[in-house]
Structure 1
Amino acid sequence: MTFSWTPHRFSGGALALDVANSVVLRADPGRRIDRFADPAVMDAFPDGANRHGAERALFGALEPVGADARDGLVALREAIDRHFRAEVLGAGKPALMADLLDAISATLRRSGTRPHALDTATARSALMLLTQPEPERLKICPNCHWLFLDRSRNRSRAWCDMAVCGNRAKASRHYRRNREEPRP
């Protein structure tokens, strides 16, 4: 099966969240898919982010990380997910923020002179998220459970991507309603 980084996969609204969302069905160990487990898919991520990512203008043309930085990027991804997911759920802890800051620091130390490498840009994106003035804009999609930023004017966005998750939720609700209500 071939895989491509489509616009839907960059619906998080921030590079750090898109990287965190590279794990599909994170909470379901039996069906969990880590897109970065395949080095070729990880190497293709920057190209997808350059085309579809919300922060593409902030970081310039992103480049893949070297083989020596892959584990560090995965550690950063996991720290991002743990911290921001806990924040959205109201279970944020100083230790999770400390872990995220440690992962960011390690990434920035390791990246040195590679400002356009995926890991460096992801660390910078995470720092920007930590300092955002409206943390309530960070949400979890009720359909796929991805993290996303709600940039709607009235903060009413419910799904990471209306075209995918929103339509699935509405179709499921319609199906259930029609199955439960007998027709005259």
Structure 2
Amino acid sequence: MTFSWTPHRFAGGALALDVANSVILRFDDTRRIDRFSEREQLRAFPAAAEAFSAERALFGRLEPVTEENTEGFIRLREAIDRHFRAKVAGLDDRTSLADLLDATAAMLRAAGSETALEAAVAHSALRLISMPEEDRLKICGNCGWLFLDKSRNRSRTWCDMAVCGNRMKAHRHYQRSRKEGTQ
């Protein structure tokens, strides 16, 4: 199956969330897909982030993760996901925060430059940690991705209306049609 990094893959609203969302169907062991398990996808990610990430103006040109930093980068991705999912759930999880701060510090130390993807993702995670409006952080009701709700009234329930919103609306329409057909 052919895969490419598209604007939908950057629906998180922050580079750190887009990296966390690189695992598709994270909690479905039979269908889970880790986009970074293929080295070429990890190498292609920075160029796509430069084009599509909501934070692209903050980071500019990004260099791919070095081979020696890959394991630490994946550790950072998982720490981002754990911590911010706990935040959305309203949990005061100091362990996940400590793990995230450790992984962030390790990547900032290991990054060869400020243009390294590792450094940019670490900075993005730190920005999210210090975000004053924590209720803007949400989990998509369709795909389970983390995203920032930037709507005025904070009522967004999908990471991307064009993809997840349409799928959920189509599903609800199908359910209503089936229900009306059985009556």
Q: TM-score, normalised by structure 2?
A: 0.97
Cα deviation for residue 91 of structure 1 reads 2.3
Which amino acid in structure 1 is aligned with residue 62 of structure 2?
A: L
Match of 2:82 in 1: 82
Match of 2:44 in 1: 44
Matched, 1:145 2:144: yes
Match of 1:166 in 2: 165
What do the CA deviations read for 1:130-181 (whole angstroms, capped 9, x no partner)? 0011000000001000000001111111100000000000000000100111
Match of 1:30 in 2: 30
Contact 1:80 1:126 in 2 (8 A): yes
The sequence identity of aligned pairs, in percent, is: 63
Which amino acid in structure 2 is aligned with residue 12 of structure 1?
A: G
Distance 1:140 1:63 in 2: 28
Of the structure 1 ranges 5-14 and 148-157, higher mean CA displacement relative to structure 2 is found in: 148-157
Match of 2:174 in 1: 175
> Gapped runs of 5+ residues in structure 2?
none
Distance 1:136 1:183 in 2: 40
> Gapped runs of 5+ residues in structure 1?
none
Match of 2:116 in 1: 117
Contact 1:139 1:147 in 2 (8 A): yes
What do the CA deviations read for 1:7-57 (whole angstroms, capped 9, x no partner)? 000000000000000000001011100000000000000111011100000
- Match of 1:181, SS state, is helix
Distance 1:5 1:164 in 2: 14
Distance 1:16 1:60 in 2: 15
Distance 1:8 1:120 in 2: 23
What do the CA deviations read for 1:88-121 (whole angstroms, capped 9, x no partner)? 012231111000000001111111x410111110
